[in-house]
A and B are shown apart, each in its own frame.
Chain A
Amino acid sequence: MSATAQLAERPSKQPQKSRRRTSFNEGTGRLAAILLSPTLIVLALVVVYPIISALRESLYTSGQQIDDEGFVVEGSQFVGLDNYTAIFSGETGERFWNAFYNTTFFTVTMVVLETILGVAMALVMHKAFKGRAIVRASILVPWAIPTVVSALLWKWIFQADGAANALLGTQILWSTEGWQSVLSVIIADTWKTAPFIGLLTLAGLQTIPDEVYEAAKVDGANAWQQFLRITLPLVKPALLVAVLFRILDTLRIFDLPFVLVGANKDSVETLSMLAYDEASNTRYGPAAAYATILFLYVALVAYVFVKLLGADILGDAVKRKPNGKRRGKSKDAAPPGANTVAMAGSTHGGGSVS
């Protein structure tokens, strides 16, 4: 509240301030800290604390006493890195590497498939002038359906005498074990999220001005060349953000295989499912160790992805000073990942030009 009072006198000072800076801008560090604190405190409590706590937890083993609600009572002991070494050895080691392989395999295949399909969809939608509203609406349907419901829906389709077998004329027991269950998970996930990548890519496509293509046509570029040389580079920022988020999402995949195929199935068990399984058996130490390894894996992948491909999660916010002058009409020209940030730049810039 003191912050408000502090600010109240601002308008009178405004005239002598430099042209561009608004009345908000002076000595705002403390005010910003106050205003941001609720969000940061909440995130510290629900994200940072659990992460640190998981790290600590993974160094302990808890007693196996169980109370009448089915939860463990107490009695944890410090065991150092035992939980971690146990993960990599013997039978648990096999289970871990299997889950690790599954997680990685799912991530690679799904993201590749979804990206190809999504980009194809975006290209089609971009070309289509009729029916765009229908497509946009229907593309959101798989996104809006809860993953659990979509998992059940696909389980139903993949039943022994379900629609998939009837359609293909096969007798495959899809969602049981083995390659077919892996395939069913991949199909279900691709169905749910490829349209979403398409949606984000389409937004990127729509920011490419027609003139670029007209110029390319004049220069004699064919459709494929146009796609490789113009479309792809220009949607890259939008696409990379979409792909990065999909990668991070698939690395922690849980609900889909858990519901579609089930727990404790070798062929689809992911790291998240493994950690959940340990936790539900009240082995919190090992569970936390698995979760920590997954966390590190996700962080590593994100880091490598951003470093190698230069995915711009923040748009170009990080590189640019907030007051930096930028193209005035970046509203239409910048790719979606960046355009929002660029817009802030344009409103800033507007003042200084006049």
Chain B
Amino acid sequence: MSTNIKAAEASPVRRYLPLLGVAAIVLYCLLPFYWMFVSAFRRPLDQFDNSLLPSPWSLDNLKAVFGEGVGFGRALLNSLIVAGVTTILVLIIGLIAAYTLARLDFRFKNVVLAIIITTSMFPGISLVIPLLKLFIDIKWINTYQAMIVPSLSFALPLAVWTLTTFFRQMPRELEQAAMVDGCTPAQAFRKVILPLAAPGVFTTAIITFIAAWNEFLIALSMVNKKEIQTANVAISKFTGISGFDQPFGTQMAAGVVVTIPLVIAVLIFQRRIVAGLTAGGVK
């Protein structure tokens, strides 16, 4: 019987089918992205050319993106501020909660965890409308905080959930040993746990940052001034210089600019991101 199994595994179909499948998956995931990349480097003239490679490579689209009056650099900076501050706030608040949930035993612990996770499931629009009204009243429209504060609604539960997972993986003996050596629990956390949890915290930071960077509805609703738009909103509103009904060349180029840093980060940290995503099981 066992030789039978081995023979079956060694048959060429069995051996090459998965490889074919892998190739199919890779193409499925990357082809549209490739198309965006290539389109960004066409000349605006032959934008609608469907050749696999741009015939003369051109940086015109990229130049247009960063051209005068487009304000895309500013939009990128805005995105960076909003996503960055959101990530930092979420990490500071979320770390404490996650450590508490992972280490302390108290009544209603699972209820609290359930509530925190549930809050990430509410439809964004039902949070945005009341907040929009509130922010109009307190004159927060067209400010960074008007985008950062609502972003916490999905980013914080995500981070608490992932961080809790990471803390639970660390043996309790670590703190116990530290405390036997005379640390207070707070010191044990700061001096022993936090450095060891750094990879997990970093993972959470990347996932949170990407989620906040990709946010659209809040940024679209809370801002109507161009100077404070995030990159996503700016791209969707491009009018372009090229005179087409929709400036796809510029939009593809802007898309590449917005995406490439994320793709590079994903490639470098793929293991960690996968660990974080599958641990949290969210989004």
A161 within 8 A of B: yes
A254 touches B134 (CB 8 A): no
Q: Looking at the complex, which of A84-92, A105-113, A152-160, A226-234 is the stretch in contact with chain B? A: A152-160
Q: Select the residue from B36, B50, B281 with max chain A CB neighbours within 10 A.
A: B281
Q: Is B236 among interface residues, defined by CB-CB distance under 8 A? A: yes
Which A-chain residue is minimally distant from B20 (CB atoms)? A124
Given the complex of chains A and B, what is the CA–CA distance between A72 and B133 in angstroms?
9
Say whether A38 contacts B123, CB under 8 Å: no
Docked-complex contact A276 and B217, CB < 8 angstroms: yes
Residues B146-182 near A (CB distance < 8 A):
149-150, 152-153, 156-157, 160, 164-165, 168-169, 171-172, 175-176, 179-180, 182
Nearest CB on A from B279, distance (A): 5
What band does the interface of chain B fall in when counting residues whose beta carbon is under 8 Å from A? 35 or more
* Distance in Å: Cβ of A87 to nearest Cβ of chain B: 14
Shortest distance from the beta carbon of A288 to any chain B beta carbon, whole Å: 5
Q: Could you say which interface size class chain A belongs to?
A: 35 or more
Using an 8 Å CB-CB cutoff, how does the interface string of A98-141 with B read, 1 for contact, 0 for none?
A: 00000000000000000000000100110111111111111111
B281 touching A337 by the CB < 8 A rule?
A: yes
Q: Are B127 and A24 in contact (CB under 8 A)?
A: no
Say how far B222's CB is from chain A's closest CB, in angstroms: 11
Please judge, given known A-B contacts A146-B232, A259-B236, A287-B129, whether A38 and B96 are in contact too, CB under 8 Å.
yes
Contact of B210 with A144 in the complex, beta carbons under 8 Å: yes
Chain A residues closer than 8 Å to B281, beta-carbon distance = 200, 238, 241-242, 245, 313, 336-337
**Separation of A149 and B261 alpha carbons in the complex (Å):** 14
Q: Is the interface of A mostly helix, strand, loop or mixed?
A: helix
* Sampled A-B contacts (13; CB under 8 Å): A31-B100, A39-B93, A50-B153, A138-B25, A148-B216, A149-B255, A152-B248, A153-B32, A203-B274, A271-B125, A288-B130, A340-B279, A343-B168
Given the contacts A47-B119, A139-B25, A42 and B156 also touching, CB distance less than 8 Å: yes
Given A132-B22, A163-B35, 6 more contacts at CB 8 Å? A22-B172, A24-B175, A162-B48, A275-B129, A295-B123, A317-B114
